[in-house]
Amino acid sequence: MPLTGQTALVSGAARGIGRAIALRLAREGADVALMDLNPAVDETARRIRALGRKAVAVQTDIADATAVREAVARIAAELGPVDLLVNNAGVVKNIASVEKMTDDAWQNELGVNLTGAFNLVRATVGGMAERGFGRIVNISSVAARGGLARQVGYSATKAGLLGLTHTVALEYARKGVTCNAVLPGMVETENVKAMPQEIRDAAIAATPVRRFGEPEEIAALVVFLCGDEAGYITGAEIDISGGGHLNTIALGSRKDISGR
């Protein structure tokens, strides 16, 4: 198995895309540390152990730098130092216009989506560099580039993750550490399944492949970026959106081109 002997850390691994990434990393041979606020993270750990890999679940707020440092030390003691870091945890706290965005929601989204990823990178990248190998994957969003009306905090933090990605890639390229960003479009997670059907239909109609992604498809890309064969990919922004990041407005109305 390609990731045998590696220790991975996935934030937001209690459910959704994070759980799918954690399980796939384990299937590829990695031992996996899972960080989440949600106690359901223990269920992800149970499933990983059932696959024959080691797992440690920590209920930690990634926005809290001290708690992250302590959790990373505990993970190192139980599983070994982190070789593969997946910054997946992300939140939307407010769906409102820019003017109605509250201070609390803005700070919370900034704290989890951007500072949380920074906290985890800072706590792990030095060790990766010392050992001459590391992989960091930041889960951004197509909203990083295209913006998202009524989700200013979310889209701004997802764009911020790209700056974090580029800088970490530059600083650690010669130390065997890569850092890349994955930009999903709509993925069939609990949040997306709970959306009103008319919004789901409109989003599918605007996606060239005419469906949402599956968490396992995001996991497959992340696992590739974590592998030995991805050593020449760093500082990249990789869309995984069924073509949703393309300009579909002009083409969408043309049956012959869009296939609609």
Ligand X SMILES: NC(=O)c1ccc[n+]([C@@H]2O[C@H](COP(=O)([O-])OP(=O)(O)OC[C@H]3O[C@@H](n4cnc5c(N)ncnc54)[C@H](O)[C@@H]3O)[C@@H](O)[C@H]2O)c1
In order of 7, 19, 116, 145, 171, the CA distances from 245 in angstroms are: 32, 25, 26, 8, 28
**Residue 245 found at the interface with ligand X (CB under 6 A):** no
Closest CA to 130 of 61, 76, 87, 166: 76
Site residue total, ligand X (CB under 6 A): 29
Span from 117-125, 145-153, 187-195, 244-252 in contact with ligand X (CB under 6 A): 187-195
- Using CB under 6 A as the criterion, what x/- string covers residues 106-145 for binding ligand X? ------x---x----------------------x-x----
Q: Which helix (H) or strand (E) holds 124?
A: helix 116-131
Span from 7-15, 171-179, 197-205, 224-232 in contact with ligand X (CB under 6 A): 7-15
Of 167 and 191, which CB lies nearer to ligand X in the complex structure? 191
Neighbours of 253 (CB within 10 A): 10
**Residue 90 found at the interface with ligand X (CB under 6 A):** yes
**Residue 151 found at the interface with ligand X (CB under 6 A):** no
Question: How far from each other are the two terminal CA atoms of the chain, in whole angstroms?
Answer: 41
232 is catalytic: no
**Residue 8 found at the interface with ligand X (CB under 6 A):** no
Neighbours of 49 (CB within 10 A): 13
Judged by DSSP in three states, 128 sits in helix
Contacts of 148 (CB under 8 A, 6+ apart): 141, 154, 155
Q: Write down the catalytic residue from 118, 154, 172, 212.
A: 154
Which amino acid would we find at residue 178? Answer: T
Q: Name the minimum Å distance from CB 132 to ligand X.
A: 29
Span from 9-17, 22-30, 76-84, 224-232 in contact with ligand X (CB under 6 A): 9-17
| Strand duo 7-11 + 31-36: pairing | parallel
Residues known to be catalytic: 154
The contact set with ligand X (CB under 6 A) reads 11-12, 14-18, 35-38, 61-63, 88-91, 112, 116, 139, 141, 184, 186-187, 189-192
